[in-house]
């Protein structure tokens, strides 16, 4: 037995349906014209997201900014803030994806490009960070933060002349910053600019006094000049004054490692790892020592642990590739060297190793391409490149410090 719906009810349903279609059509038309529907208070949602972000409620902030984008897909502010959310969570690829969208929509906003540079900087991708920071400095020459970070990127990529040129204008505002004076002084020394070098280190002595931080930086300066005994002397003074000073044991380990005194180097790296187990650098160096001592199992364990803490350590992937190659595990070696190549695509040593691995796999044509990339490079330059790669991240305490 069928029931009959009253005609009046049918008219009511039909009216509701028509109104719904009209509302949807109006919202769609407004979106296509670049205007959010009038029924949604986007400003309130956006401000709520900003408030959540400022309080560290990242999940709530993410949801609010997504809500804005669902209605207004051209909101550069929502994309930019989503980028900041993902930066806080260290989800770098998502951060960069959203920041790039924001930059497309608002190419004249320097703060977006600054965050793009910082996202690369925090991944130790200093060469990739340079264009973003340079564009901010070009548009805002007085930006201390962008200029300082650009100078650090030049320093960490060994472009010392550019580092001096970029950092010199900050000498008044950063004259009490020990790290700034150290970076400027070393860069000036590398480029044979004694007047700038002497002024930077004189100021470093003036404000550093006899503090452990001062001796740490002086030890690093000696280390850069291959004056390893002087470096150890200064670093020991720093360690005695402040045994838990970040990176003091790391650099002592580096100095001993340069002298191939692996036992004290291991002890120092282990001490640093105990003091700060969340940083990967000491584990990376412990892996390098184990590799030198032909303990491939221990080396691999250290490198894998370092990569769990930071998946952007090219040196760890490079060493793992060499370990697998030595064990005739060529497919695994290729996987690791490919990861290293993604991080340091211009490294001759990585391309040379990749070529040898491809030869071991019988992939002659691909191996020939790789070897062609290093064919014109001198043996001395190739050795220098390998030493740089094996060293791992330079100046990790500068990389790890908060952005100025």
Q: How much is the pLDDT for 389? A: 65
Percent of the chain with pLDDT over 90: 72
How far from the centroid of its chain's Cα atoms is residue 148's Cα? 15
The predicted model gives 115-128 an average pLDDT of 91
Exposure string over 78-103, b if 16+ CB within 10 A, otherwise e? bbbbbbbbbbeeeebebbbebbbbbb
pLDDT at 288 over 50: yes
Q: How much is the pLDDT for 125? A: 86
Strand spans (E) along 336-399:
none
**Backbone CA torsion sign across 292, 310, 301, 330:** negative
Angstrom distance (rounded) from CA 171 to CA 164: 11
Q: How much is the pLDDT for 136? A: 97
**Backbone CA torsion sign across 30, 34, 38, 41:** positive
Helix (H, G, I), strand (E, B) or coil at 213: helix
The phi and psi torsions of 61 (rounded to 5 degrees) equal -60, -45
pLDDT at 6 over 70: no
Q: How much is the pLDDT for 145? A: 94
The predicted model gives 193-202 an average pLDDT of 95
Give the closest residue to 253 by CA, choosing from 278, 236, 277. Answer: 236
pLDDT tens digit string along 51-96? 999 999 999 999 999 999 999 999 999 999 999 999 999 899 999 9
Exposure string over 106-134, b if 16+ CB within 10 A, otherwise e? beeebebbbbbbbbbbbbbbbebbbebbb
Domains and CATH numbers, the chain: 210-277 (1.25.40.10), 293-404 (1.25.40.10)
pLDDT at 21 over 60: no
Task: Please report the DSSP string for 285-302 in residue order.
Answer: HHHHHHHHTT-HHHHHHH
The predicted model gives 181-193 an average pLDDT of 94
Collect all residues with Cβ–Cβ distance below 8 Å to 302 and sequence separation of at least 6: 283, 284, 286, 287, 290
pLDDT at 387 over 80: no
pLDDT tens digit string along 303-339? 999 999 988 899 999 999 999 999 999 999 999 999 9
pLDDT at 161 over 70: yes
Q: What is the pTM of this model?
A: 0.74
Collect all residues with Cβ–Cβ distance below 8 Å to 32 and sequence separation of at least 6: none
Average pLDDT, the chain: 86
């Amino acid at each position: 037995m069928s029931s009959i719906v009253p005609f009046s009810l049918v008219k009511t349903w039909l009216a509701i349906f028509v109104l719904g279609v009209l509302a949807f059509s109006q919202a769609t038309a407004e979106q296509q014209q670049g205007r959010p529907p009038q029924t949604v208070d986007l400003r309130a949602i956006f401000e709520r997201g900003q408030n959540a972000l400022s309080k560290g409620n990242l999940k709530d902030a993410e949801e609010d900014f997504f809500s804005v984008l669902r209605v207004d897909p051209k909101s550069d502010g929502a994309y930019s803030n989503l980028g900041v959310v993902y930066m806080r969570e260290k989800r770098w690829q998502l951060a960069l994806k959203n920041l790039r969208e924001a930059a497309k929509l608002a190419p004249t906003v320097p703060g977006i490009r600054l965050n793009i540079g910082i996202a690369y900087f925090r991944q130790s991708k200093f060469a990739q960070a340079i264009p973003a920071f340079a564009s901010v400095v070009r548009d805002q020459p007085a930006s201390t933060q962008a200029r300082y970070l650009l100078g650090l990127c030049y320093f960490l990529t060994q472009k010392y002349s550019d580092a001096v040129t970029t950092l010199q204008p900050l000498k008044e505002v950063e004259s009490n910053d020990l790290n700034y004076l150290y970076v400027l002084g070393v860069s000036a020394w590398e480029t044979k600019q004694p007047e700038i070098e002497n002024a930077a280190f004189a100021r470093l002595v003036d404000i550093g006094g006899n503090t452990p931080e001062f001796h740490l930086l002086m030890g690093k300066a000696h280390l850069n000049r291959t004056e390893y005994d002087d470096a150890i002397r200064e670093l020991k003074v720093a360690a005695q004054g402040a045994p838990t000073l970040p990176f003091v044991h790391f650099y002592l380990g580096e100095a001993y490692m340069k002298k191939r005194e692996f036992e004290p180097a291991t002890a120092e790296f282990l001490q640093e790892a105990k003091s700060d187990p969340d940083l990967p650098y000491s584990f990376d160096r412990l892996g390098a020592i184990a590799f030198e001592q032909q303990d491939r199992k221990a080396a691999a364990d250290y490198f894998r642990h370092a990569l769990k803490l930071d998946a952007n350590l090219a040196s760890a992937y490079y060493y793992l590739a060499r370990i697998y190659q030595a064990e005739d595990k060529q497919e695994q070696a290729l996987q690791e060297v490919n990861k290293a190549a993604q991080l340091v695509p211009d490294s001759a040593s990585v391309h040379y190793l990749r070529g040898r691995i491809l030869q071991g796999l019988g992939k002659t044509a691909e191996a020939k391409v790789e070897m062609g990339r290093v064919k014109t490079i001198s043996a001395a330059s190739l050795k220098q490149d390998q030493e740089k790669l094996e060293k791992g991240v330079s100046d990790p305490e500068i990389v790890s410090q908060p952005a100025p």
